[in-house]
Amino acid sequence: MPGFELGEEYRDLVEMVRDFADQVVAPVAARHDAEHSFPYDVVRQMGELGLFGLPFPEEWGGQGGDFFALALALEQLGRVDQSVAITLEAAVCLGAMPLYRFGSQEQKERWLPQLVSGQALAGFGLTEPGAGTDAGATRTTARLEDGQWVINGTKEFITNSGTDITELVTVTAVTGTATAADGSTRKEISTFLVPAGTPGFRAERAYDKVGWRASDTHPLTLAGVRVPEGNLLGERGRGYANFLATLDEGRIAIAALATGAAQGCVDEAVRYAKTRTAFGAAIGTYQGIQFRIARMQVRAHTARLAYYAAAERMLAGRPFKTEAAMAKLVAGEAAMDNARDATQVFGGYGFINETAVARHYRDSKILEIGEGTTEVQLMLIARGLGL
């Protein structure tokens, strides 16, 4: 159970991942960012460390930990490279976790061990050109024909969908209409497991992104894709509800990643302020710089407390939707604000892409957009207040 003081196992995990991030991830981060290249060797080593299996039971090859352990790992990775952190977050929260939560025994036996070990990745195909925040506007369709689901549609901004080790993508699709108690109708949305390499399923050219440039992100085309009837994930018509539950958990993970980014900006700014001199003294001796960095630390600390609190409620089995929304909102804004301030501390050097603060400046904006925009978080918080 998380708390304000971490237990020994959590502390050991944090130390292990921090060392890995500093010694393995950070030295190659600038190169992968500049080349827009996926860090296969780093991902392989994360798998060997067991990071992909942190919240999964040992029976599936996992570490037998919990979701908070994953969040702690994401914070440490997010300090030095958000692309690597989001690769892990998406692989676990959006890739393997839906399969673990809603999959059949047969589906789990076929795919889960590979995903939990990090030997394979999975994506979650939700967003479409006209259905982002309004996921209920999904236009991709799936119809049952001769024991197979025939899927047609397009998806946008799908992480881990086109790597050499991508095993499958879970796709949301409209399978009919459902009638509510008041007589109104709505789309019946279901989810399907679509293996990579299925005829008609294609990952299009990767995006040229502002940030997260070493993360794998593609638009997807599904043209007459046929998968077995048994590839339905969970109950028919429960795809939208299951997706919402997946995002609630994922927001805690994203908040942890964003907290790491915010803290990484603090660490870089402190280091630079101690070594950069101006007017005969280290710039860290000037109160203007001190106060700027102090505010940065307050933001990172507040973001950490927010995601700790949300994770604690989740693991205790208590409602946590509002707390997860607050954590993502606070942490995402902390990362963006700290990236801006760290860049200001660095001056001209903060405008050079190879520096960590420049990468954080480019990377952090998506933390206010992906897996629920700032506006969506505010809407959820307002609903939690009964408004």
Provide CB contacts within 8 A for 271, sequence distance 6+: none
CATH homologous superfamily for the domain 241-384: Butyryl-CoA Dehydrogenase, subunit A, domain 3 (1.20.140.10)
The tens digit of pLDDT for each residue in 252-285 reads: 999 999 999 999 999 999 999 999 999 999 999 9
Mean pLDDT across the stretch 108-126? 97
**Under 8 Å between Cβ of 86 and 215:** yes
Provide CB contacts within 8 A for 187, sequence distance 6+: 136, 138, 174, 177, 178
**Under 8 Å between Cβ of 130 and 139:** yes
- Residue that the structure tokens 């280091």 belong to: 271
| Lowest-confidence region among 60-74, 121-135, 160-174 | 121-135
Region of residue 36 (phi > 0: left; psi between -120 and 50: alpha; otherwise: beta)? left
What are the tokens at 266?
């603090």
The tens digit of pLDDT for each residue in 309-323 reads: 999 999 999 999 999
CATH homologous superfamily for the domain 122-239: Butyryl-CoA Dehydrogenase, subunit A, domain 2 (2.40.110.10)
Mean pLDDT across the stretch 237-265? 92
Among 339, 59, 78, 63, residue whose Cα is nearest residue 215? 78
Residue 239's pLDDT is what? 87
The tens digit of pLDDT for each residue in 285-294 reads: 999 999 999 9
Which has more pLDDT, 5 or 372? Answer: 372
Residue 143's pLDDT is what? 96
SS3 of residue 282 by DSSP: strand
What are the tokens at 294?
């102090």
- Residue 2 predicted with pLDDT over 70: no
Residues acting as catalytic residues: 371
The tens digit of pLDDT for each residue in 191-220 reads: 999 999 999 999 999 999 999 999 999 999
Q: Selecting from 3.40.630.30, 1.10.540.10, 2.40.50.140, 3.40.50.2000, what CATH number does the domain 8-120 have? A: 1.10.540.10
Domain boundaries, the chain: 8-120, 122-239, 241-384
What are the tokens at 353?
């892409």
